[in-house]
Chains A and B, each alone.
Chain A
Amino acid sequence: MPQSATANILTVLDTDFKGIIEEWLGRQVKEGVKRSDLFSDAESRNQNRELLKAFSKGVRDGVTGEDFDFDDNQWDDLRAVLADVSRERVNRGVTPTEMATFVLALKTPLFKRLESLQDVDQGVLIRDVMLVTRLVDAFAIYTNEIFIVEREQIIDRQRQEMLELSTPVVELWDRVLTLPLIGTLDSARAQEVMENLLQTILERQAEVVIMDITGVGTVDTQVAQHLLRAAAAVRLMGAECIISGISPMIAQTMVQLGIDVGTVSTRSSIRTALSDALLTVGYVIKKTEDQ
């Protein structure tokens, strides 16, 4: 009586579990995706072992006939292990393609062993191979999805850290903050810079913020929009905003583009902006007497 597809696969997995892991590892090395530079042999072997264990469990409990749904709870274990391994790998710099190839390399060891099972005819072998293919492919696709999400999160985190380093909010005087903006502002960066600035206003109880754009290359409509949004947000928090560093060129461009700053104060230099800000918080700069 012919064995069911899963029966053959399970037999293969049970009889030569260790062998499959080694051969899988070997294939991963051949495809250049083992990444011995990032993972020790022991770590890689362990990852493979956990994955294969969870995979076996899924095959045993989660396949009906030749159908399976990767989202069923019988596959929870495998999905959980895949998530962990993917996260580990992403964190150390493995690429999505490497990860997918890493997973897909499982096919060959399984195919070889299915082929060498005794008394297996071509039709049965083809059926088994197709099931293994569909299973491992689903495995790889899921991994890819997790990978991509993880990577986006890491990139976000790194960008955040970089932002904090490159756009410091400086407390120039008691209750006066200054934000020297450098380079071009993109939407994502602008938002995060804004949140950091507003948080600082709250913490330092700042009454005036000087946003200096001397270091910003071009002021086009988009940059102006980010600036005005930031100024509006500062005002909503209860502080005053002065935009300084408006060169004659920038002033001309802004007028030509029809940008209306509304009620936001603007100054050409930080110097005048600072003296205005100090006045607001109750200070006047006075020259000391000459000797």
Chain B
Amino acid sequence: MPLPSYDAFDERDLGAQVLLSQFKLNTSGDAVTVRQAVARYMKEHGASALTVTRFATAVSEIARNAIVHAGGGEFSIYVDPGRKQLSVVCWDKGPGIEDIELALSDGYTSGGGLGRGLGGAKRLAKKFEIRTAVGGGTSVLMSVNL
């Protein structure tokens, strides 16, 4: 497997944040697992129901993207030491995205009619960053205030 030819998100981008869990993303069940894990952590840290639903929905979108469009990947959940912010990094080893602007705009589809995932996720997350390289995979970092 070729190394990604871009700087995927990792610990360095997360500053003081601590890794809570890591998951592999392969089957559709894994998307459920990660979004439920994120929801659980958020509730444990006192996030409101609306905050949880919004962010967990964003998580669901990007996890699905990795599984369906990119042949799988990895998902990590981080929290800052003050327990005020939760972040997730979703990394996939897929074909990468050629036109990020297009992918983030509503109505984007790439065959299979599964568009709007990323654009929706971006709207729902407080912080949303994406790095990608054609042929090298995609990495998404999202954060939410608890």
Query: Which A residues lie at the B interface, using CB under 8 A?
Result: 70-71, 76, 79, 83, 146, 149-150, 152-153, 191, 195
Contact = CB atoms under 8 A, between A and B. Distances in A.
Q: For the complex of A and B, list the 7 residue pairs with the smallest distance between their C-beta atoms, beginning with the closest.
A: A71-B16, A149-B84, A83-B82, A195-B50, A146-B82, A79-B81, A149-B82
Interface in B72-98: 81-82, 84-85
A195 B85 CA distance: 22
Nearest to B51: A156
Contact of A152 (B15, B50, B145): B145
Interface residues of B, number: 8
Q: Is the interface of A mostly helix, strand, loop or mixed?
A: helix
B8 to A, nearest CB: 21
A60 B15 CA distance: 23
B82 A153 contact: no
Contacts, number: 19
Given A71-B16, A195-B50, A149 B85 contact: yes
Nearest to B146: A153
Contacts of B84: 149-150, 153
Contacts of B85: 149
Contacts of A150: 84
A271 to B, nearest CB: 34
A124 B113 CA distance: 68
A76 B82 CA distance: 11
Given A71-B15, A149-B85, 7 more contacts: A71-B16, A76-B81, A83-B82, A146-B82, A149-B82, A149-B145, A152-B145
A153 B16 CA distance: 20
19 contacts: A70-B16, A71-B15, A71-B16, A71-B81, A76-B81, A79-B81, A83-B81, A83-B82, A146-B82, A149-B82, A149-B84, A149-B85, A149-B145, A150-B84, A152-B145, A153-B84, A153-B145, A191-B50, A195-B50
